[in-house]
Amino acid sequence: MSAKLTEPLLLLGTSSFTAEGWEKSFYPKGTEARDYLSYYATQFPAVEVDATFYRIPALSTVKGWYTKTPTDFLFALKAPQEITHEKVLVDTEPVLKEFLRATEPLGEKLGVVLLQFPYFNKKAFSSPADFLARLKSFLEALPAEPRFALEIRNKYWLGAPLFELLRKHNVALTLIDHPWMPRPREWFAKGDAITTDFTYIRWLGDRKGIEEQTKLWDKTIVDRTRELREWAEACRNFLKRKIRVFAFANNHYGGHAPDTVRLFEKLMEKG
């Protein structure tokens, strides 16, 4: 059984619980790699696992995630790239079943499965309607649990047809902070982008731009105060609506994902 979307309404974390440089800047000196997740769970209530995008985890790994985290900790898992990038929703039922079977030991700690799609050009889909037709068939076959969120990177595809399809199937639209995509308020220019009882936010940033400056994720090198202030305003509105918020920071956003989350927490506290 997946996590029930009840209190707390705001769940913050990072995309992955380790990265190059974190062993000195985030984890206490001498922390063994096997203890990273246990320590991480003392700092944040949720984590987005990027590794599941590249390979389906072993049952032993998933059981380890469960035992190393407290009872109220939640995981967001990225669905395998075979589903979203390679087969793009065609004949993906076997791999989805395998993925869900492998991650079943997380039980109530499995908060969300993220379906992250790439940017699709006209060679992939001649129009948004073509993608939505394929997505409709896929969503109709999804199980009721766990809960799903969907990320697209085509801002021109945002609007009522996508929102209504996701709303019909109780799937959250993922709101991302990315150079290609709208600012927080702009997500709602073509309708209500909240499509179920929770929303999913990803602070992604400019991967190419920041990697030209660093590939060591031990400190903040891009000040994101202005952007996060906008997200804090949006999140306060979501919480007023009793919409549960999952929000995860990537290292590529500011340079050090834990600092991004802590800055956001401070901005939320200031109101």
Task: Please report, for the domain that includes residue 26, its CATH number.
Answer: 3.20.20.410
At residue 270, the pLDDT reads: 85
For residue 230, being part of any structural domain is answered with yes
For residue 214, being part of any structural domain is answered with yes
| Average pLDDT over every residue of 68-75 | 98
Question: Does position 4 have pLDDT exceeding 90, yes or no?
Answer: no
Question: Does position 271 have pLDDT exceeding 90, yes or no?
Answer: no
The alpha carbon of residue 240 and the mean position of all alpha carbons in its chain are separated, in whole angstroms, by 21
Cβ–Cβ < 8 Å for 129, 161: yes
Question: Does position 6 have pLDDT exceeding 70, yes or no?
Answer: no
Could you report the per-residue pLDDT of 190-202, keeping only the tens digit for each? 999 999 999 999 9
Average pLDDT of the residues of the chain: 96
| Average pLDDT over every residue of 232-241 | 97
At residue 36, the pLDDT reads: 98
Domain count, the chain: 1
Cβ–Cβ < 8 Å for 271, 236: yes
Q: In what order do the strands lie in the sheet with 198-203?
A: 10-14, 244-249, 198-203, 172-177, 148-151, 110-116, 74-78, 46-49
Neighbours of 30 (CB within 10 A): 7
Question: Does position 1 have pLDDT exceeding 80, yes or no?
Answer: no
Token reading at 21:
């440089």
Give the residue numbers spanning the domain of 173.
10-270
| Average pLDDT over every residue of 106-130 | 95
For residue 39, being part of any structural domain is answered with yes
Question: Does position 42 have pLDDT exceeding 80, yes or no?
Answer: yes
* Residue 93 to residue 79: CA distance in whole angstroms: 12
For residue 140, being part of any structural domain is answered with yes
Phi, then psi, of 77 in degrees rounded to 5: -115, 135
Rounded percentage of the chain residues whose pLDDT exceeds 90 = 95
* Residue 254 to residue 217: CA distance in whole angstroms: 9
CA distance to 62, 76, 139, 179, 262, per residue, from 51 (Å): 12, 11, 23, 23, 23
For residue 19, being part of any structural domain is answered with yes
For residue 2, what pLDDT band results from cuts at 50, 70 and 90? low
Could you report the per-residue pLDDT of 26-40, keeping only the tens digit for each? 999 999 999 999 999
| Average pLDDT over every residue of 254-265 | 98
The residue whose two tokens read 């440089």 is 21
For residue 87, being part of any structural domain is answered with yes
| Average pLDDT over every residue of 133-154 | 97
**Closest Cα partner for 197 from 225, 231, 222, 167?**
167
Buried b (16+ CB within 10 A) or exposed e, 238-258: beeeebbbbbbbbbbbbbbbb
User: Is the model's pTM score more than 0.85?
Assistant: yes
Q: End-to-end CA distance of the chain, in Å? A: 35
For residue 111, what pLDDT band results from cuts at 50, 70 and 90? very high
Question: Does position 70 have pLDDT exceeding 70, yes or no?
Answer: yes
For residue 97, being part of any structural domain is answered with yes
CA distance to 153, 234, 247, 249, per residue, from 143 (Å): 25, 30, 24, 28
For residue 4, being part of any structural domain is answered with no
Question: Does position 226 have pLDDT exceeding 70, yes or no?
Answer: yes
Determine the number of helices (DSSP H) and then strands (DSSP E) in the chain.
Answer: 11, 8
CA distance to 123, 231, 241, 246, 260, per residue, from 221 (Å): 37, 19, 34, 24, 11
Listing DSSP states for 138-155 in one string gives HHHT--SSS-EEEE---G
